[in-house]
Amino acid sequence: MTDLAPDTILSVRDLRTWFKTKRVTAKAVDGVTFDLKRGQTLAVVGESGSGKSVTSLSIMGLLARPGAIESGEALFRDSKGAAHDLARMGPRGFRKLRGKEIAMIFQEPMTSLNPLYTVGDQIGEMIALHNDVSRDEARKSALDMLRHVEIPDAANRLDDYPHQMSGGMRQRVMIAMALSCNPSLLIADEPTTALDVTIQAQILDLLRRLQEQFGMSILFITHNLGVVAEIAHEVVVMYAGRVVEHAPVVPLFAKQKHPYTEGLLACTPNAERDLDPAGERKALYSIPGTVPPITNLPPGCAFEPRCRYSISACTKVPPQLEPAGPERLSRCLRSAEI
Amino acid sequence: MSATMETTTPLLTVDGLVKRFTGRGGKTVHAVEDVSFTIKRGTTVGLVGESGSGKTTAGRTLLRLIEPTGGKAVFDGTDIFALSDKDMRAFRQRMQIIFQDPFSSLNPRMRVEAIIGEALDACGYPKGQQRKDRVAELLTLVGLQPEHGRRFPHEFSGGQRQRIGIARALAVEPEFVVADEPVSALDVSVQAQVLNLLSDLQKRLGLTLLFIAHDLSVVEYLCDEVVVMYLGRVMERGPSRLVYAAPRHPYTKALLATAPIPDPTRRREHVPLKGDIPSPINPPSGCVFRTRCPHAIDACAQTIPPVEDLGGDHHVACIRHLELAQAS
Ligand SMILES: Nc1ncnc2c1ncn2[C@@H]1O[C@H](COP(=O)(O)OP(=O)(O)OP(=O)(O)O)[C@@H](O)[C@H]1O
Ligand SMILES: Nc1ncnc2c1ncn2[C@@H]1O[C@H](COP(=O)(O)OP(=O)(O)O)[C@@H](O)[C@H]1O
Ligand code: SF4
Ligand SMILES: [Mg+2]
Ligand SMILES: [Mg+2]
C-alpha cells in the first residue's frame, strides 16, 4: 500500500471480483492488474462480458450482490497525496471520495440524471454537496460547468429538464456534473457507445480538452478500438475477466502481441484492405466462435478455442501475463512468435 | 457484388418517397421527404446517416410495414404503394426485413423451428416432413445446425440470434431484403461473421439488399451504391467507390471525417461536425443541413437544393457543390 509510485493515481493489483451463488461462481474479474498514471487516459477494451464494467464498479464501490471483491487491491491516491485501498473501503469512505475525488460517467446518461429536476439544479446540488457555497453561487458554478462542456446557449439550457435534451447534450451534462467538483479520477464506462459517430467525436474531443484543462486522469472503458486510438495513452485489453494485453497506445496499434487483440483489429472492415482493385470483396477476417461463458472457461488459455495460433500446450495451463517487449505485456504462450 | 457483373435492371425504383408522422400535439414529423433512388437487381445499396435521419422509416415504408405518405416504389414493374392490402400480400413474400436488435426481434417463447416455420406459414408452405427439411436447410444455410431448431432464442449468442433472424427473412425466398443495422448490436468479433454471411448469401442467392447502417466503413465494404440521408432527405448518392473516393456533399465529407480511425498516429485535430441534428418537426428552410454546414451562405436558406446529376450515377444536393469542388 505504501509502494504507490508518485506519478500513479490508481493501481489495481490482482483484483478478483466474483459473483458467487449456491450453484456457480462467475469469476467476472479474475486477477486484473494495471496502473493509471496521473493526467493520463487508460483505456480498458474488450467485448461484451469481458469484465470491463465489473472492474470499474469494483473500483467505485458500486458492486451489487452477489458481486463481491474476492481479493486484490485498488490503490488510489487522493488530491492531498493520501493513498486509499478502494478494494477494502466501506460505504462511509466512499461517500467522502465519490463525486469529489472520483467521478463516473456512464453509457446512458438518462439513467443517472433525475428526470424530475432541471440540469442546473442537479449540477448545482452536486456542487453544494461538496462545497460550502450559497444557492446562487452553486447556480453560477453550474452555469460555468455547462459552458466548460460547451453546451450552446448554456444560460438558457440551465433550466431544461434532461428529456428536453439530445443524447449528446445529456452526456455533456453528465460530464459537467462529474467534473463540477474537480475530481482527480474520472471513470467513463462507454460514454459514447449510445451516440452517433458525429456526436462521439465531439464528446471525445471535449474529454481530451477538459483533461488538459483540469488535469484529471481517466479510466476509459470501451469496446471500440477506433475510440481507443482517439483517446488513450495506454491500453488494457480484457478477455473473459482477465487482462490479455497491456501496452502504450501507439505500439499496440502498430503491432499486437496477443492473438485476440490482433483479431479484434483485423475484424473491423477497412476498404483499403478488404476490397481488391477491381472492387471485389475479400471475406472479412472474423474470429471464429464466441466468447466462452465465464462459468465454464477452458482449462488452458481462455482464448484457445478461437485462436489461430493455438498449439497443444495452450489447452493445458492458463498462460501468465508476461513481458512482451518494452513497456508491454501479453498473456500468450506464443507472443514472441506473433 | 462485383462491379464486373452485368446487373443493371432496377429491381426497385423509389421516387419521391414521403413519410410524415403526426407527433405529439398534432405536430407533423417530417421523417422522410422526397427521397429517390434505385436498386439494381442483385446489388446492395447502403443507406447511411445519423440517427433520426429517416433510414429506418424509409426502409419500413418500402416494405409497407408502415404506410407511405406519398411517392412511388416500383418493384419489378409494379408500384407497390398503389396496391390494395390484398394485392400487396403476393409481394410481401418477395420482400423481407432483418431487424437491428437480435435480442428483441425473436419471440422468446417460441422454438427456433417454430419461428422460422411461422415465416413459412405466411407463404402457405406445406407442413410435415417437407417443412422440417426446409427449416434444417435454412439453418444450415446461415451456418447453424439443424439440431438448433429445437432450441429457444435465449440459448443463443447475439450473433447466432442474428443468423436466426436472417434464416427467418430468407425462409420465403425473397428477392429483396432490407437489413436495418443488422450488426450494430453485435460484438466486433461477431460482426464480421454476420457480414461475411450476408455477403456470401447474396452472391449465392442473387439477393438484392438495402443495407441500413451508421457505420460508413461497413457500408463501403459491403455496398455497391450508397445513399446518404440527413433529416429525411438525400444529400448525396452514387456508386460507393465514387462517393467514398470523392465525396461532394459537405455532410458526406463530414461524416467520412468523423469515423474513428484505428490508428493513434492519425488523431483528428478538430471535430468535423458541430452541434446536433435539428428536430424533424421544424426542419430548417432551404437546405436542411445548413445549420451545421461549414459552407452555408444566405442562399442556402432560400431554396431546397435540387438533386443534381454529376454523371456516372453520382448525385448531390448542395447549391455550392461546384464552387466547393473547384476550391479544393
Ligand atoms: N449480477 C451478476 N451476477 C452474475 N454475473 C454477473 C453479474 N453482473 C455481471 N456478471 C458477469 O460478469 C461478467 C462481466 O460483466 P461486465 O458487465 O463487467 O462486462 P462488460 O465487459 O462491461 O460488458 P459490456 O461490454 O456488455 O458492457 C459477465 O460474464 C457478466 O455476465
Ligand atoms: N411512429 C413515429 N411517430 C412519430 N415520429 C416518428 C415515428 N417513427 C419515426 N419517427 C421520427 O422520424 C424520424 C426518423 O426516424 P428513423 O427513421 O427511425 O431514423 P433513423 O433510422 O435514420 O435513425 C425521427 O425523428 C423519428 O423520431
Ligand atoms: S446547400 Fe449550402 S448549407 Fe447545404 S450543404 Fe450546400 S453549402 Fe452547405
Ligand atoms: Mg459494460
Ligand atoms: Mg434506425
Domain harbouring A209, CATH code? 3.40.50.300
Number of domains in chain A: 2
Same-domain check for residues A221 and A265: yes
Same-domain check for residues A86 and A204: yes
Q: For residue A290, what pLDDT band results from cuts at 50, 70 and 90?
A: confident
Q: Rounded to a whole number, what is the distance in Å from the CA of B103 to chain A's nearest CA? A: 14
Q: Mark which of A167, A182, A197 sits at the end of a domain.
A: A182
Residue B6 has pLDDT above 70, yes or no: no
pLDDT digits (tens, 9 = 90+) for B165-220: 999 999 989 999 999 999 888 888 888 888 999 998 899 999 999 999 988 888 99
Say yes or no: CB of residue B61 within 6 Å of ligand 2. Answer: no
**CA pair distance A81, A72, nearest whole angstrom:** 21
Mean pLDDT of A119-128: 92
All three cell numbers of B82: 398503389
Structural domains of chain B, ranges and CATH numbers in brackets? 3-94+174-263+270-327 (3.40.50.300)
Host domain of residue A34: 8-101+183-337
Ligand nearest to the CA of A196: 2
Chain A to chain B Cβ contacts (< 8 Å): 140
Q: How far is the CA of B203 from the centre of ligand 5 (A)?
A: 26
Comparing CA positions, the residue from A46, A53, A48, A47 lying closest to residue A19 is A53
Alpha-carbon torsion angle B316, B319, B325, B328, nearest 10: -130
Nearest CA in chain B to A150: B275
Same-domain check for residues A45 and A80: yes
All three cell numbers of B171: 425462409
Residue B2 has pLDDT above 80, yes or no: no
Question: Would you say residue A193 lies in a domain?
Answer: yes
Question: Would you say residue A109 lies in a domain?
Answer: no
Which residues 6+ apart lie within 8 Å of A179 measured at CB?
A103, A145, A148, A149, A186, A210, A214, A216
Say yes or no: CB of residue B117 within 6 Å of ligand 2. Answer: no
Same-domain check for residues A190 and A286: yes
| DSSP string across B1-68 | --TTS---SEEEEEEEEEEEEE-GGGPEEEEEEEEEEEEETT-EEEEE-STTSSHHHHHHHHTTSS--
Same-domain check for residues A248 and A320: yes
Same-domain check for residues A130 and A18: no
pLDDT digits (tens, 9 = 90+) for B40-95: 999 999 999 999 999 999 999 999 999 999 999 999 999 999 999 999 988 988 99
Say what the pTM is. 0.90
Under an 8 A CB cutoff, do A250 and B265 touch? Answer: yes
Measured in degrees and rounded to the nearest 5, phi and psi for residue B289 equal: -85, -5
Same-domain check for residues A205 and A313: yes
Share of chain A above pLDDT 70, in %: 99
Angle between helices A167-179 and A119-130 (to 10 degrees): 10
Under an 8 A CB cutoff, do B189 and A271 touch? Answer: no
pLDDT digits (tens, 9 = 90+) for B285-301: 999 999 999 999 999 99
Structure confidence at residue B176 (pLDDT)? 97
Nearest CA in chain B to A168: B276
Which residues 6+ apart lie within 8 Å of B172 measured at CB?
B93, B96, B119, B120, B122, B123, B125
Same-domain check for residues A133 and A97: no
Comparing CA positions, the residue from A103, A246, A167, A267 lying closest to residue B187 is A267
Say yes or no: CB of residue B283 within 6 Å of ligand 2. Answer: no
Residue A297 has pLDDT above 60, yes or no: yes
Mean pLDDT of A273-289: 81
Q: Rounded to a whole number, what is the distance in Å from the CA of A307 to chain B's nearest CA? A: 12
Tell me if chain B has a CB within 8 Å of the CB of A205: yes
User: In A272-298, which positions are buried (b, 16+ CB within 10 angstroms) versus exposed (e)?
Assistant: eebbeeeeebeebbbbeebbbebeebe
Tell me if chain A has a CB within 8 Å of the CB of B259: yes
Q: Rounded to a whole number, what is the distance in Å from the CA of B7 to chain A's nearest CA? A: 15
Give the residue, A1 or A195, on which the prediction is more confident.
A195
**CA pair distance A122, A178, nearest whole angstrom:** 11
**CA pair distance A126, A129, nearest whole angstrom:** 5
Question: Would you say residue A288 lies in a domain?
Answer: yes
Give the residue, A133 or A245, on which the prediction is more confident.
A245
Structure confidence at residue A2 (pLDDT)? 56
Nearest CA in chain B to A226: B262
Alpha-carbon torsion angle B291, B295, B296, B298, nearest 10: 160
User: Taking a C-beta distance cutoff of 8 angstroms, is the pair A198, B257 a contact?
Assistant: no
Range with the poorest average pLDDT among A104-113, A196-205, B273-282: A104-113
- Which residue in the block uniquely carries the three cell numbers 440459448? B155
Say yes or no: CB of residue B57 within 6 Å of ligand 2. Answer: yes
Give the residue, B156 or A32, on which the prediction is more confident.
A32
Same-domain check for residues A134 and A150: yes
**CA pair distance A83, A3, nearest whole angstrom:** 10
Same-domain check for residues A330 and A222: yes
